[in-house]
Amino acid sequence: MKSTKEILKFALPAVIENFLQMLMGLSDTFLVTRLGLAAVAGVSLANNIITVYQAIFIALGTILSSVLARKMTGHMLNAGVKLTVLLGGLIGILTAIFTQDLVHFFGGRGEVAALGQTYLLLVGGTIVLLALMTSFGAIIRANGDTRTPMYASFFANIFNLLLSAVLIFGLHMGIVGVALGTIASRALALLYLWKKLKEKNLKPTKTFFTEKISKELIFLTIPAAGERLAMRVGDLVIMVLIITLGNPVFAGNAIGESITQFNYMPAFGLATV
């Protein structure tokens, strides 16, 4: 059984990592508020959809980390990365195709819908970056290193804040600037994690895509994803109800949600240990 000291040793970086990930969303919300309530509402609508995707990737990452922590094998590592690429790629393609339908289905109308579609198309269409970030971080944690994913989130936050500010206020790119800042910061974090995987000799082989996906990985991931999706579906239902009250109410709720995420952040960090 792990002692309190051991738990804190591994949990503290995970808590900080979760804090930084949520801080990225909060900084995006702060920047978007300068673009108007419609922009806040549009980005919030898109992000609520993206959190559904994120729930799937977190579930996969948690299971992958758990399996690899018990036995670090090349087969399971390759299979995990392959499943991540397939899931992330498929979700990204479907999002790009059905962006307009998704936004309208969840209540987006008028300017809010237009802005939400732009953000969802760019960030949701490249969601494989987030998927790989999550799985790469899980692999590194399974090897006993919880600090590297934390550093990746830190670098991503700084880069996202600076680049988004330049794109929004310097180049006046609006929602596109926010989306590009998010994409670029995730790509940077992904490259950093890939570099660390190579250093630790944990990177997948060049033939990882020919690896057969483990049934164990799939069977363990499905219920874990189902649990997280149940929570996210509830959030989506609430969002659909709130959006009918108008842009000011929905935008205010979005800002409030960004702040209240910090309430449960420590628990998420502890849950990864």
d(CA 167, CA 181): 8
pLDDT at residue 99, as a whole number? 94
* Size of the chain, expressed as the number of residues it contains: 273
Which amino acid is it at 203?
Answer: K
Q: CB of 130 within 8 A of CB of 60? A: no
Which amino acid is it at 181?
Answer: G
Q: CB of 273 within 8 A of CB of 266? A: no
Neighbours of 174 (CB within 10 A): 18
Reported as a single tens digit per residue, the pLDDT across 216-228 is 778 878 887 787 7
Q: Which of 85-99, 218-232, 259-273 bottoms out in mean pLDDT, i.e. has the lowest?
A: 259-273
Give whichever of 69-73, 203-207, 254-258 has the largest mean pLDDT: 203-207
Assigned token pair, 118:
């732009």
pLDDT at residue 65, as a whole number? 81
d(CA 3, CA 16): 20
Give whichever of 42-51, 123-132, 227-236 has the largest mean pLDDT: 123-132
pLDDT at residue 192, as a whole number? 94
Mean pLDDT of 82-102: 94
